[in-house]
Amino acid sequence: MSENHPIAPHGGTLVDLLADEAKASALAGEAANLPKIVPNERELSDLEMLAVGALSPLTGFQGEADYHSVLDSMHLTNGLAWAIPVVLGVDEAQAHQLGGGGSVALLPTEGAAPIAVLRVTGAFKRDKAKEAVAVYRTDDEAHPGVKAVYDSGEYCLAGDLEVISLPAHDDFQSYRMTPGETRAEFTRRGWKTVVGFQTRNPIHRAHEYIQKCALEIVDGLLVHPLMGATKSDDVPPDVRMQCYEALFEGYYPKDRAMVSIFPAAMRYAGPREAIWHAICRKNYGCTHFIVGRDHAGVGTYYGTYDAQKIFEEFEEGELGITTLNFEHSFWCESCEGMASPKTCPHGEETRISLSGTKVREMLRNGERPPQEFSRPEVADILIAAMQGEG
């Protein structure tokens, strides 16, 4: 990372758990003879995030004290803000067998070569009901985040990680930048202030507008699409990437905006996930972070502005990244431009606003939404993808 970058990583040090070549080779040799665990998709994503420092200052899967501290108070035991536990689930037998200490090899899939060694510091029983209510504000198993908690092991294995290699990806190689790399890129571009935008959806005019409003007050924009696990009904990553590329090609200044991948798995934890997303983006070098309505929400579990309000529960400056709260935006015929309820005095009848359901229906029928809603290039990609689905 650059020494002169204006924003420090969370906790002050950018973590890098990836071993150098010699060390990786020694770890691989050691791992061959260790007990082995295959983490689930979400945990593998967390492993990658930990390895590259996206979850700085964490250096491994959290132990019981931090787990409860995060659930109870949104802080680590050392007092640092932290919103969502990062844990490795195991079953009871594994917890008894491995929890006493020693090391465990982590494998991306059954029978694959180990990608990391966990130096075990302990095991503990996961309080799923408490975790669900604290993080997701519900214990309803219809909530995808809650379901993931209940589907995982009854125990957690804690300890520091030493990483042999990152989980392999066969897509988007040129977009996969570590926090160290995005920081270096920001410096290279001369950006002192950078706003991060989290998304797991194609970008329509409303979000383009929000990003550009934010860009007006900072040096650069990082569109940082989450490409880890999402719900099966979210738009697939390759389709989303095509949309981002078309949008950047046609409508974004190349020296002021960039796209890179956020390898996190989606939790759908709404407010708590907004905090988590902001802290991660600080680690990637962003000084500002956009929080829209219903950030990281799903269904009707969270209030429209909960994800913006939760930031007020922290001390001034505690999170170290500035959040920019945005309203729902739309094209207004009378304003003759993009606007929001904050800036447009006109009524609903002059605003071009479509429900997600309506947009999906239009796209499925091969119909472009109005260009005031969606850029035609983006609409065409989505239409092609939806028709390909049959």
The catalytic site residues sit at: 200-201
In the complex, the smallest distance separating the C-beta of residue 269 from Zn ion, rounded to whole angstroms, is 34
Place of tokens 């431009």: 337
- Number of Cβ within 10 Å of residue 124's Cβ equals 18
- Reading the block at residue 343, the tokens are 């800036």
Element counts in the chain: helices (H) and strands (E):
13, 14
Q: How far is the CB of 337 from Zn ion (least distance, A)?
A: 8
Structural tokens at position 336: 């003759």
Place of tokens 């960039």: 258
Taking the least distance from each CB to Zn ion, the nearer of 92 and 333 is: 333
CB of 373 to Zn ion, least distance (A): 15
CA-wise closest residue to 222 among 273, 265, 266, 256: 256
| Side-chain half-sphere exposure of 294, counting CA atoms within 13 A | 10
Indicate the residue among 307 and 332 with the shorter CB distance to Zn ion.
332
Q: How far is the CB of 210 from Zn ion (least distance, A)?
A: 16
Size of the site for Zn ion (CB under 5 A): 5
In the complex with Zn ion, the residue whose CB is nearer, 149 or 344, is 344
CB of 353 to Zn ion, least distance (A): 12
- Are 350 and 333 within 8 A, CB to CB? yes
Residues 265-304 that bind Zn ion (CB under 5 A): none
Tell the smallest beta-carbon distance from residue 197 to Zn ion (Å): 24
Residues 320-379 that bind Zn ion (CB under 5 A): 332, 334-335, 344, 346
Rank residues 239 and 335 by Cβ distance to Zn ion and give the closer one: 335
| Helix intervals (H) in the chain | 21-31, 41-52, 64-73, 92-98, 128-131, 144-151, 179-189, 205-215, 237-251, 271-283, 306-309, 356-364, 376-389
Closer by beta carbon to Zn ion, 26 or else 352: 352
Give residue for tokens 């002021």.
Answer: 256
Q: In angstroms, how far is CA 382 from the centroid of its own chain?
A: 23
Q: Answer for the pair 56, 13: CB distance below 8 angstroms, yes or no.
A: yes
Site for Zn ion in 75-94 (CB under 5 A): none
| Closer residue to Zn ion in complex, CB, 332/378 | 332
> How far is 66 from 121, CA to CA, in rounded Å?
13
Q: Taking a C-beta distance cutoff of 8 angstroms, is the pair 107, 101 a contact?
A: no
Residues of this chain that bind Zn ion (CB under 5 A):
332, 334-335, 344, 346
